Structure 1
Amino acid sequence: MDTTARPPNPGSPMHATIKKNRLLPRLLARLLVCSLLVALSGCAGMFSGSQQAEPPAPPTPPVAVVQPEPTPPPKPAYVNSVAVLLPLGGPFREFGGRVQKGIQAAQDNLAKAGTPLDVHIIDATQPGWVEAVRNLPPEITVVGGPMHRLTLKELETAGMLQTRVFLAFMPSLGEAREGVDAWRFFPSAEDEIDALLRLSASDYGINQFAILRPGDRYGQTMGDAFAVAASKLGAQITATGVYNPQEPAGWQATVADMLRTGGGRPGFGAVFIPDEWARADKVLPAIFSNKVEDLLILGPQLWTEALYRAAANKSQINIQNYRLAVCPGAWWPENQGQATQQLVTAMRAAGDEHPDMWEAVGFDFARMAARLGRLPQGSPPQEVSSRLAQATTGMDFSMAPLTYSPDGKAHVAMYLFRPSVTGPVLLDPEGFRQRLNAIRQKALENPAPETEQSYSPNPAPAAPAQPLQGTPAQPVQGTPAQPIPSAPAQPLGPVPSHRQAIPVS
């Protein structure tokens, strides 16, 4: 029997079995690989979590060309800072607003000159203004204002006057001590009276005066101040008339009693009438109706302010009442000084055709503050007064010049004006004196001047004039005729009243 192994017959059952046995492992291997692939793909999802494939980066946009922005102008480097306390509401808002406009005009000029001034404005009519003053930066040691005595009193009560230097825009400080508790940057009643007495007493030699005043607080205050100032010059008050401002029917009798002091002629050469323009305009005719037409009439600054308003409103005035009247003022818009004309130009550019003393106060205060510089906190009053005197010395004021005495008291050398149909006109003292003498000699036929030439600074020589009423008995010679220029002569610059010397006629 042949036992040699032979390969199975492909058609036999055994061959089929062997073939099946060989295919099964392959199938199992393939199934295992598929299961493994499925498992692995599931695991990949599990391990990747919520992460998604990063999208491709977008293409970089083209870089835009950025034009450089213009460089803004540099902020001004303030060399000095001050504060101002003004009433910008209530009944005094007009005056406070005018001071503020003057300050702004000065700031503009200072900025152009390269010395900008930082100004903190505080409205004294708003709640919390005291705290606003208290919380000012420590480098601000100078405050302009206040403008009202009640505001000053509140500062005093709050103990604020000792913390900073206050320059009040007020004629007086009430109970506060000027030059110690506070200072002023404003004309006073004494400045008005000083201007009037320097003309009438010092220059004209009149030494006997009358006071005709209303019986109110203003009339009494001004009348008493005039009497004190006159006595210091050796002059006398020889008559006083006090009328009830609410009873016009009694004014004539009051004036008549005052005029009887000289046995048929007034025993005085000038009369001071400290009253508002509207009422004084009705009192003056009582003097003329008693056939007294040669008194020198001295009015307060209230008259000058009223004359400016009348000119601005084109209102008529009774010029015949003021042939021999003079009144003081701190503002003269026709002054050709640089500061005055700068302010006038700035105000007109802002639409204000008629600036007045209030704008001048703000304009000059800001400019003076820039000259003053910073004051160290706690500076003693003597040092403050000295610094103020230095700052105002040589300063070109837009209003009448202001100075400080060594004890810190302010003085304004006020101008003197005469009333005219065109408003206040700066007084020519010599021409006015000659007119006064001519009226007293009855040499002037027309009692009411028709034109401004009636007040020519160089009139034709009159008859020999006699001394003014109340002056020392000295002969007065006529002035030789001088050539009259083609146009009325105007002063080249402001001439404060205390410097308007009167040559002997």
Structure 2
Amino acid sequence: MNRDKAVRLSINIYAVMLLTIFIFAASGCVSLQKQPVKMPTISTEMLTTQALVSVADKAWRSRDYISSELYYTRLLERSDIPEREIPPATERLAISSFKSGHYHEAEARLEQWKKLSDEAISSPVWQQYYFETLTAIKSFPKLRTHLSTTMEDPFLSWDIRSTAGKNLSGMDQDANSLTALERLYAIAPDDSNKQELEQWFMQGLEKKTKAEIEAMNGLVPSEANLKFPYELLIFEKAVRQSGDTEYWPMSWRTMAGIIQNGQIADKAYFSAILSKLEGQYGIPRVGIALVLPISGRFQEYGWKIVRGAGAAQWEMTKAGLDVDVQVINTEAPDWLERLQNLPPWYTTIGGPISVKAFKQLEQAGTYADKVTFSFLAKPGNLEEGKQAWRFFSSPEDQIRSTLDLAVNDLGITKLAVLYPQEKFGRQMSKKFFDLAAQRGARITGMESYPPRDFPQWGKVVGKLVRAPQKKAQNEAEGLGEDAPLPETDFGAVFIPDTWHQAQLLIPHFFFHEADTLVFLGPELWSQALNSARDVEARNLRLTVAPGAWWPASDGAGRLKEVMDNEGLGTPDFWVALGYDFIKFAGKLGTFSEGWTADTVNDRISEAQHMDFSLAPISWDAEGKASQKLYLFRPEQNGKTRIDANLVSSTLAKAKARREARVKAWEEKQAELKAKKEEASALDGSKTEQ
């Protein structure tokens, strides 16, 4: 018998054996996965290595993965296997193991394949089976790490990196999924890759239910509404709302705004979607009324708001958005009549900025016909979120921002309040007390002072920091008048007064050695600091005030660029207020007669996803606004923005200075004591002599 015949005979014998095994397996007598049969092993041992290569390859080509897994396993055990056969055999064994449901074996062989070949991870086949294998064995932490690393690897092809990023995003149904796609888009090499991602993501969104789209929109951060993939979530929701006549104006503005200002590479693709909808529903028209003082005492603020509104309107007009803005002077005797006689598409009001004018609007009942956003800290006696809405920071916003710093960031849980004996001071103190309690903080000191009786202030501050008790305690312990006073039991003081008054009050704390306190104030401080000059800032480094406007913020920078291009001057808080409101109100669209608060709140939930030039405002489901204000501290000529890290560092330095001062005093006392003892010893010696 020659060699070829021997090989064929061996193959035939093995085929008969294998058939026998399948028959037993079918009858339930043999488990192929759990009980490897010895006869095939014996039969493979009868084959030469080259014959085993042929048998394994034949099983592979016929997609008999159970057999090919066995053959390639035996083949790779041979010591005489040609080196060139090892990589393909390892690859096929990994895939055969996966196809046979032996996932842990598949993982081991895939890892082996990667070690054998530097090009394995560059193979779409290896990547696909590694992903599916780790998914099958539920090794999710390892899979996330692999996908993230692959996505970020600049030496791999974009197809592999893109697939890894898409798979990574598919592992979660939360914000992490969108974050992964945001990163993938950011590292895409060129616009064609970004366009493919956009279309792929939109095609995926089309398959999702309304509830799924709503849930995903809830994950959109307010500051990321014009970035991929968040903007496309908003775009898709707007597309779905387009068929509702009530929502069409808002949907149209949302889509047009994203196309114009968003992070979109394939504008033609999205413009085509919008054009098709425009063909069905037309281009809507929106009217916004600004009710402001254009003459009289507050006209300066009114005109600034108008300038900002004009910049926003011009910017939106260039983007193809049809927005009408009508300004009505609240100082004119017939202003309410003019407001009520506006054309029907003027359904949204911004303003007033004076309590008196808002009371007039409230008494006239105009708020019931037009959706009203007050430029005030409180919408009069109207219920916020139902009868009127707020486009302005509230006292609670101011206090929340400072408490977040003191309690959440600095860990100060004992606080004090020093307030003027007048309405504003009492009201703010009560709000501070309540909001502090909600955070688990305690007010361990509270005093009030007569706002104009300056000579009394030193005594009031001394009483607050318990200076008389501390001095008495030192005296009881036999310490001199120069002994340092113990620290207060609170770490921060809230002073709800003007900046002028605060500057006069704070030095009294240093006089009473309470020099490691954080001083918290209202927005009045930061407003005054906008024009302050020659401030004695050295002892005010732990003074913190909230504010909505910071010229160096990204949003303010964009507004400045718009203002510069149109020759409209330098923006400030009031200009930014007008600019942001028109952009926001333009997204709301028009409201049909008989609108409800729920309708308005639904629109707001979409419109608030925009780039603010002021500190961002957000509204909850009930239509109540909150603004996350910036924090500032005084500088010699104005103010500078601060964060928790800076305040924490400054506070640590203040405490270190105090400790050094106390240590120096203690060392001096020890030195004096030693000298006294030495002198006493000398006197005793002389007496003995």
The answer, yes or no, to whether TM exceeds 0.5 is yes
Higher alpha-carbon Rg: 1
Q: Report the structure, 1 or 2, having the larger helix content.
A: 2
**What is the aligned partner in structure 2 of residue 388 from structure 1?**
604
Deviations 1:225-249 (A, max 9, x none): 1111111111111111211112111
**What is the aligned partner in structure 1 of residue 316 from structure 2?**
110
Structure 1 residue 445 displacement after superposition: 8.1
Name structure 1 gaps, 5 residues minimum.
1-76, 447-505
- Residue 318 of structure 1 is aligned with which of 536, 540, 553? 536
For the pair 1:373 / 2:589, whether they are aligned, the reply is yes
Runs (4+) of structure 1 moved beyond 3 Å? 261-265, 345-354, 443-446
- Residue 341 of structure 1 is aligned with which of 528, 546, 557? 557
Give the aligned residue type for 2:499.
W
Kept in 2: contact 1:271–1:295 (CA 8 A): yes
Counterpart mapping for 1:79-118 below 5 A: 79-118=285-324
Distance (whole Å) between structure 1 residues aligned to residue 301 and residue 284 of structure 2: 27
SS at match of 2:657: coil
SS at match of 1:441: helix
Distance (whole Å) between structure 2 residues aligned to residue 362 and residue 443 of structure 1: 47
Structure 1 residue 438 displacement after superposition: 2.5
**What is the aligned partner in structure 1 of residue 330 from structure 2?**
124
Kept in 1: contact 2:312–2:579 (CA 8 A): yes
- Residue 423 of structure 1 is aligned with which of 627, 634, 638? 638
**What is the aligned partner in structure 2 of residue 276 from structure 1?**
498
**What is the aligned partner in structure 2 of residue 48 from structure 1?**
none
- Residue 299 of structure 1 is aligned with which of 500, 521, 533? 521
Counterpart mapping for 1:183-202 below 5 A: 183-202=389-408
RMSD: 2.1
Give the aligned residue type for 2:522.
P
Distance (whole Å) between structure 1 residues aligned to residue 530 and residue 634 of structure 2: 10
Give the aligned residue type for 2:575.
E
**What is the aligned partner in structure 2 of residue 290 from structure 1?**
512
Distance (whole Å) between structure 2 residues aligned to residue 290 and residue 133 of structure 1: 57
SS at match of 1:424: strand
Deviations 1:126-150 (A, max 9, x none): 0111111111112211111121222
Counterpart mapping for 1:65-84 below 5 A: 79-84=285-290
SS at match of 2:368: coil
Kept in 1: contact 2:374–2:391 (CA 8 A): yes
SS at match of 2:602: helix
Kept in 2: contact 1:103–1:359 (CA 8 A): yes
For the pair 1:409 / 2:631, whether they are aligned, the reply is no
Structure 1 residue 408 displacement after superposition: 0.7
Identity rate of aligned residues, in percent?
A: 37
Distance (whole Å) between structure 2 residues aligned to residue 410 and residue 172 of structure 1: 10
Kept in 1: contact 2:633–2:639 (CA 8 A): yes
SS at match of 1:206: coil
Give the aligned residue type for 1:280.
A
For the pair 1:175 / 2:381, whether they are aligned, the reply is yes
Kept in 1: contact 2:311–2:566 (CA 8 A): no
Structure 1, 351-360 or 103-112: larger mean CA deviation: 351-360
Deviations 1:219-276 (A, max 9, x none): 1221111111111111111111211112111111111111118855322110011111
Distance (whole Å) between structure 2 residues aligned to residue 100 and residue 332 of structure 1: 20
Structure 1 residue 184 displacement after superposition: 0.7
SS at match of 1:396: coil
Summarize the Cα distance change of 1:179–1:242 in structure 2 as closer, same or farther, 3 Å threshold. same
For the pair 1:432 / 2:647, whether they are aligned, the reply is yes
Counterpart mapping for 1:200-211 below 5 A: 200-211=406-417
For the pair 1:355 / 2:561, whether they are aligned, the reply is no
Kept in 1: contact 2:449–2:456 (CA 8 A): yes
Give the aligned residue type for 2:592.
P
Structure 1 residue 309 displacement after superposition: 1.2
Kept in 1: contact 2:307–2:568 (CA 8 A): no
Structure 1 residue 397 displacement after superposition: 0.5
Distance (whole Å) between structure 2 residues aligned to residue 349 and residue 110 of structure 1: 14
**What is the aligned partner in structure 1 of residue 439 from structure 2?**
233
SS at match of 2:607: helix
**What is the aligned partner in structure 2 of residue 468 from structure 1?**
none
Give the aligned residue type for 1:239.
G
Distance (whole Å) between structure 2 residues aligned to residue 98 and residue 268 of structure 1: 42
Kept in 2: contact 1:78–1:117 (CA 8 A): no
Distance (whole Å) between structure 1 residues aligned to residue 319 and residue 370 of structure 2: 28
**What is the aligned partner in structure 1 of residue 549 from structure 2?**
331
Name structure 2 gaps, 5 residues minimum.
1-282, 471-485, 662-689
Give the aligned residue type for 1:358.
W
Give the aligned residue type for 1:416.
L
Count of matched residue positions in the alignment of Structure 1 and Structure 2: 363
Summarize the Cα distance change of 1:200–1:438 in structure 2 as closer, same or farther, 3 Å threshold. same
Kept in 1: contact 2:535–2:634 (CA 8 A): no
Kept in 2: contact 1:281–1:321 (CA 8 A): no
**What is the aligned partner in structure 1 of residue 5 from structure 2?**
none
Kept in 1: contact 2:559–2:576 (CA 8 A): yes
Deviations 1:173-217 (A, max 9, x none): 232110111101111111111110111111211111111121122
Kept in 2: contact 1:164–1:377 (CA 8 A): no
Deviations 1:102-132 (A, max 9, x none): 1011111111222142101111110111111
Summarize the Cα distance change of 1:280–1:352 in structure 2 as closer, same or farther, 3 Å threshold. farther
Distance (whole Å) between structure 2 residues aligned to residue 423 and residue 349 of structure 1: 27
Kept in 1: contact 2:523–2:547 (CA 8 A): yes
Distance (whole Å) between structure 1 residues aligned to residue 360 and residue 462 of structure 2: 45
Distance (whole Å) between structure 2 residues aligned to residue 351 and residue 141 of structure 1: 30
Summarize the Cα distance change of 1:361–1:84 in structure 2 as closer, same or farther, 3 Å threshold. same
Structure 1 residue 427 displacement after superposition: 1.0
Give the aligned residue type for 1:320.
R
Structure 1 residue 353 displacement after superposition: 5.9
- Residue 656 of structure 2 is aligned with which of 431, 434, 441? 441
Distance (whole Å) between structure 1 residues aligned to residue 355 and residue 426 of structure 2: 18
Give the aligned residue type for 1:407.
E
SS at match of 1:141: strand
Summarize the Cα distance change of 1:91–1:444 in structure 2 as closer, same or farther, 3 Å threshold. farther
Give the aligned residue type for 1:196.
T
**What is the aligned partner in structure 2 of residue 34 from structure 1?**
none
TM-score (normalised: structure 1) = 0.69
